[in-house]
Amino acid sequence: MTDSPIAPDMGAANASGVLTTARPLFQPADPLAKLNLSREMLDDQRIVGFNNRDRRSRAYHLLRAQVTKIMKRNNWRMIGVTSATPDAGKTFTSINLAAALAATAGTTVVLADLDLRRGSIWDTFGNPTDKGLSDYLEGKIDNPRDIACRINESKLVIVPTIRSEAPSSELLASDRFRSFIEQLRAMPQDVLMIFDLPPVFADDDAIMCMEYLDAYLLVVDHGVSTARQIEETVRLLHPAPCLGTVLNRYKGGFADPYGYGYGDRYGMKSYD
């Protein structure tokens, strides 16, 4: 009797459909560093996506429903969140969308901060460590898993970045960044990934990042962002698909107390 042949590990498909044999960054059940945050701290930082009973989370749950539907339809798992200019609300959108997605039963969500110059996700969570993605990209630490951190007992895992003096474009063009993305892409198919990207007009970092991601969500500062800026942003990120737009500080239709509006009539528009 001969042994049955063992099928090779074919890995996971990357954004171009090419199979990668990279090891997953982690498995959903793996023990990771954990950051314990009180409900009061989350409320103070306006991190409401976890709490289904908080009426302020309603808009993020509507956004979650639309984003999930579009991602499933297109078999997308890696979504960037960006804006044309700074201070449009992209980071709060990234955090609360990721939290709302992680509140869905069985869904592990990775939230990675790719704004290497002005990353602020870790500041929002209290800046509990001085290590981040930039340290891995610069070769200061060997394994990006060492900076991954689970929030409380939730299924949300943060990969933070610490602002670096190193040229961000060089870090994003490095083999280490490519390896990091491949490790994320190799994770189980039910793991979703949200990436907080730099503003598109700030530099070319968002454009470089989108070469690796499936699609992006565009945050628009209502009354501040112009139609010309939106059109130019979509043009610069082409051919990456724009999943839709989110209006921050939206004053009409359905909106939450912070002024986020979603939906075809309420603020989310698709650019197919």
Model confidence pLDDT, tens digit, residues 98-150: 999 998 877 899 999 999 988 888 888 877 678 899 999 999 999 999 999 99
Tell me if 253 is assigned to some domain: no
Structurally, the chain folds into a number of domains equal to 1
User: Of 244, 235, 190, which Cα lies nearest the Cα of 215?
Assistant: 244
Tell me if 17 is assigned to some domain: no
Tell me if 163 is assigned to some domain: yes
Residues counted in the chain: 272
- Percentage of the chain surpassing pLDDT 90? 54
Mean pLDDT throughout 166-191?
95
- Percentage of the chain surpassing pLDDT 70? 80
Tell me if 180 is assigned to some domain: yes
Tell me if 7 is assigned to some domain: no
Two tokens, residue 145: 């898993």
Tell me if 47 is assigned to some domain: no
Tell me if 270 is assigned to some domain: no
pTM, two decimals, is 0.84
Angle at 171 between CA 167 and CA 172, to 5 degrees: 115
Q: Work out whether strand 12-13 and strand 109-113 pair parallel, antiparallel, or are unpaired.
A: unpaired
Burial (CB < 10 A; 0-12, 13-18, 19+), residue 96, is buried
Q: Which helix (H) or strand (E) holds 12?
A: strand 12-13
User: Of 38, 51, 58, 158, which Cα lies nearest the Cα of 109?
Assistant: 158
pLDDT at 256: 44
Better-scored residue on pLDDT, 59 or 210: 210
Q: Domain limits at 167?
A: 23-32+56-248
Burial (CB < 10 A; 0-12, 13-18, 19+), residue 50, is buried
pLDDT at 20: 52
Q: CATH no. for residue 61?
A: 3.40.50.300
Tell me if 260 is assigned to some domain: no
pLDDT at 3: 35
Q: Which helix (H) or strand (E) holds 246?
A: strand 242-248
